Structure 1
Amino acid sequence: MAWAEKVYKVRDGKQTKQFTWKVNYKKPDGTKGTASGFPTKKTAEDWGNAQEAAIRAGRWVDPSLMQRTFGSWAREWMQGQAPRGTTTTRRWDRLEADIFPEWENVPMAQITWYDAESWANSLTIDDVSVTHALSLMSSILNGAVDAKHLLVNPLAGRRRRRTAAAKEALQAKEEAKENQYAPPEVVLQLARRAGPLDGMHILTVAFTGLRWGESIGLHRDNTLLTRSEHYDGAQFECPVLRVVEEVAEYQSRKPDGTKGPLVVALEPVKTKESKRRIDVPPFLADLLRQHMEQTSTPQLFMTRSGVFWRRGNFGRQVMKPVSGGKKPAAAVRGHAKKEGWEPIMPGLTMRAMRHTHDTYQAQIGVKPILEFEQAGHKYPGIKGRYQHPTPQMRRERLEGLQEIYERAMRALGWTEIWPAKPTTTQDPPK
């Protein structure tokens, strides 16, 4: 049973007649635990008895651990995690940029949902990043509960109520997504303007739905393999792209969060659904064969110097001028005159090309189970377990994509995407 004793206040080095109460109780390891500052003997003993009751029930948390700062525990928690490099980098960036400035020195026991929600709604970053910040905080506090540093996670299961400004920003972002799809004629025009090397990259993503890291990590040994399945008493066959790895780009971090060198390297795809074979329509298979004959790099879509593209560089040097237009430049000493061109569809990105492919699949009525498989997504619910793509579904998808391409070529009056003598040239990206 807990017991209490007086603690006299000291002023100018001398004990006064004023006092508070300190409680003593037995901790799980048999040592003495104490807490002070109680106004009466009874409140002190009641608190100590409550601690011993919690210890007997197996639900006790050391009060001293509850006063540990969020930043101290977050760093320990991060060292115990082992996610992919990009995930680690995103977490450290979110902690250092947004979470630590507010919460690093706050005892975990003092964190409340009210304060966390108010802080989140005051951030000026985009809405998705705000949600990620709260989610990361909640995961860290869940770890504190598991480690018996907290009784409960005050953020668990809570849903943020957005302010009017946050709702308006979210709506504006949704409206901006309207430009994340390109009609097939636009895709072909982009491919022609970019030239056979980078244009083939754009075209492939638009008609296969490869993610950015998957596309630049696509190895020639995984290109145009053959899918073979029983169908109508014979074999259904089609060329495929085998997706097993991707190029990750991130700022490496040491276990304590210290920044290391920039990493741009191959690593396995993140989920089992991402590891897949994408069926390739006939026109694209023919173009990829020509591309493989004309290039020698191990990955199909590398820079002209044979290294992996960085996402930002490709966007600035290829996608932005190709889709948004380019101003002409007069000849100056050491530089020849450069021709300009009009915009095609400003604002398009390689992410928009992936959106474009998914939109094409919806347009031609690809069955959901196949649509999800080809995009590298998990089909939700019980149907994802019981339904499977069939050769007939695959054939219909390939025929639909082929028709989209052929219709666009007819609309443009083209017989080939890249004429022997291009009508428009692009300066090679650095």
Structure 2
Amino acid sequence: MAHAEKVFKVKNGKKTTKYTWRCRYKRPDGSFGSEPGFPTRKLAEDWGDRQEAAIKEGRWIDPELSRKKFGVFVHEWMAAQKPRGRTTMNRWARLEGHILPRWKDAPLVSINWFDVEAWARTLTCARSTTKDCVQLMSRIMNGAVDARHLIVNPMAGRRLTGLPADPAKKKADEDQVATPEAVLELSRRLGPVYGLHIVTDAFTGLRYEELVGLHRDNTLLERRQKYDGGVFTCPIIRVDGDTGVLAEYDVRDEEGKRKAFRGLEPPKNDKSGRDVDVPPFLAVLLEKHLAEWPHEFVFTTLSGKWWWRSHWHTILRPAADGREARPKARGNAVKEGWEPIMPGLTMRDLRHTHDTWQEQIGVRPVLGYEQMGHKYPGIKGTYRHPTPPMRQDRLDGLQALYERAMSNLGWTSIWES
């Protein structure tokens, strides 16, 4: 049974007559725990009785664990998680950039929604980043509940309100969606090797990591689907879990040191593993590229190495944004001046572009979701399935976009021979 002991205060190394009470109680393992600082015997004994009752009922939380610092528990929680590498990197970016500077030394039990919401309103990052930070904190606090450090997560089910205006400027629609003509002009500017990256991204909607991790063995396979007494066929690009997609992120060792990782990982979820139907013109371009391309992966540097995002950025930016002419100089080749085609264009914008084109040409939602690697929402995602006529309509629509753009540009081929 819990009992109380006097704890005399010490001043200048000598025990005084003033004292508080310390509770002694039996822990689940049979050892005795203690909790100091009670002003009276009764309060100490009552507190101890509550602990022993909670222990008997299986709902006891160790007070020492509840006082663990948030920053210490973060490292325990992160070590227990096994998400994709880039997700881990993004979580550490949120933690080190925003969360830990404020909450690192806070005891878990001291964190409450009032303080968290007030802190969130002071952040000057984008609203989406602020929400990500709060959601991540809540997940960590859920982990503290699951690890029996806390009885309840005070952040569970709470919603942020009163956030300041978002300082991040959102791109206008016209800056996120390219015209087919702009895609082809950019592709011609980059040439038949790098330009094919752009065309393929815009006309298939592949994610950047799916595109740069595409193996030639998964390119121009054939879809075969029974229909109308025959078989519907079309060329496809396969995103699967065997070859995987290219991942690029920072890995931390046990001491917290970072090392860049670049390698193949499975797709991010079940829906991301898919077969993407390829329109006829793109199938011809890919077939020609593969016949001449000596490397294992379809979209790499000229030497066959995987692209770093930052390296590809240096290729895309001047092509999209334009550049000034540079005369020939020692160590530098001459460069012609380029007018802007679509300043600020990114590979993610090309994925936006493809899905917007799908809507424009009337692709059925169940097929559009499948081709983008998204889950069709609701019960209809279980009952509805793409059919060959739906697929053919999509391919015809994408082919028509290409042919109309080529006609508008007055071109007979994207790359001049």
Aligned to 1:61: 61
1:329-386 residue CA offsets vs partner (Å, 9 max, x unmatched): 1233444532112111111111111111000100011111111100001111101111
TM (normalized to structure 1)? 0.92
Runs of 4+ that moved beyond 3 A: 175-178, 333-337
Match of 1:204 among 179, 200, 215: 200
Aligned to 1:125: 125
Change over 3 Å in CA distance of 1:250–1:347 after alignment to 2 = same
Change over 3 Å in CA distance of 1:39–1:232 after alignment to 2 = same
Matched, 1:190 2:207: no
Point out where structure 1 has 5 or more consecutive residues left out of the alignment: 421-430
How far the C-alpha of 1:255 sits from its partner, in A, is 4.2
Which amino acid is the alignment partner of residue 316 of structure 1? Answer: T
> What aligned pairs does 1:257-406 form with structure 2 within 5 A after superposition?
257-259=256-258, 261-317=259-315, 319-406=316-403
1:61-87 residue CA offsets vs partner (Å, 9 max, x unmatched): 010111111111111222222222222
How far the C-alpha of 1:24 sits from its partner, in A, is 2.0
Task: Confirm or deny: 8 A CA contact 1:20 1:38 kept in the other structure.
Answer: yes
> What aligned pairs does 1:80-91 form with structure 2 within 5 A after superposition?
80-91=80-91
Q: Secondary structure at the match of 1:90?
A: helix
1:191-225 residue CA offsets vs partner (Å, 9 max, x unmatched): 11111011111000000000000001111111110
> How many residues in Structure 1 have an aligned counterpart in Structure 2?
414
> What aligned pairs does 1:150-169 form with structure 2 within 5 A after superposition?
150-164=150-164, 167-169=165-167
User: CA RMSD, aligned part only?
Assistant: 1.6
Task: Confirm or deny: 8 A CA contact 1:179 1:348 kept in the other structure.
Answer: yes
> What aligned pairs does 1:128-147 form with structure 2 within 5 A after superposition?
128-147=128-147
Q: Work out the CA distance in 2 between the residues paired with 1:299 and 1:235.
A: 30
Q: Work out the CA distance in 1 between the residues paired with 2:173 and 2:150.
A: 41
How far the C-alpha of 1:9 sits from its partner, in A, is 1.8
> What aligned pairs does 1:199-278 form with structure 2 within 5 A after superposition?
199-244=195-240, 245-259=244-258, 261-278=259-276
1:100-124 residue CA offsets vs partner (Å, 9 max, x unmatched): 2222222111111122222223223
Task: Confirm or deny: 8 A CA contact 2:61 2:150 kept in the other structure.
Answer: yes
Q: Secondary structure at the match of 2:81?
A: coil
How far the C-alpha of 1:249 sits from its partner, in A, is 0.7
Q: Percent identity?
A: 54
Q: Work out the CA distance in 2 between the residues paired with 1:125 and 1:183.
A: 31
Task: Confirm or deny: 8 A CA contact 2:126 2:166 kept in the other structure.
Answer: no
Aligned to 1:35: 35
Which amino acid is the alignment partner of residue 299 of structure 2? Answer: F
Q: Secondary structure at the match of 1:169?
A: coil
Which amino acid is the alignment partner of residue 330 of structure 1? Answer: P
Q: Work out the CA distance in 2 between the residues paired with 1:19 and 1:54.
A: 28
Task: Confirm or deny: 8 A CA contact 1:79 1:256 kept in the other structure.
Answer: no
Point out where structure 2 has 5 or more consecutive residues left out of the alignment: none
Task: Confirm or deny: 8 A CA contact 1:184 1:404 kept in the other structure.
Answer: yes
Q: Work out the CA distance in 2 between the residues paired with 1:32 and 1:304.
A: 69
Aligned to 2:22: 22
Q: Secondary structure at the match of 1:337?
A: coil
TM (normalized to structure 2)? 0.95
Which amino acid is the alignment partner of residue 384 of structure 2? Answer: Q
Q: Work out the CA distance in 2 between the residues paired with 1:74 and 1:252.
A: 17
1:28-70 residue CA offsets vs partner (Å, 9 max, x unmatched): 2222222111112222222222212222221110101111111
Q: Work out the CA distance in 2 between the residues paired with 1:352 and 1:127.
A: 20
Q: Secondary structure at the match of 2:166?
A: helix
Task: Confirm or deny: 8 A CA contact 1:78 1:255 kept in the other structure.
Answer: no
Change over 3 Å in CA distance of 1:349–1:234 after alignment to 2 = same
Q: Work out the CA distance in 2 between the residues paired with 1:285 and 1:234.
A: 22
Q: Work out the CA distance in 2 between the residues paired with 1:208 and 1:117.
A: 42
Q: Work out the CA distance in 2 between the residues paired with 1:180 and 1:380.
A: 24
Q: Work out the CA distance in 2 between the residues paired with 1:21 and 1:337.
A: 84
Q: Work out the CA distance in 2 between the residues paired with 1:178 and 1:16.
A: 77
1:243-266 residue CA offsets vs partner (Å, 9 max, x unmatched): 12211111111245332x311111
Change over 3 Å in CA distance of 1:110–1:411 after alignment to 2 = same
Q: Work out the CA distance in 2 between the residues paired with 1:24 and 1:43.
A: 12
How far the C-alpha of 1:15 sits from its partner, in A, is 2.8
Q: Work out the CA distance in 2 between the residues paired with 1:334 and 1:277.
A: 45
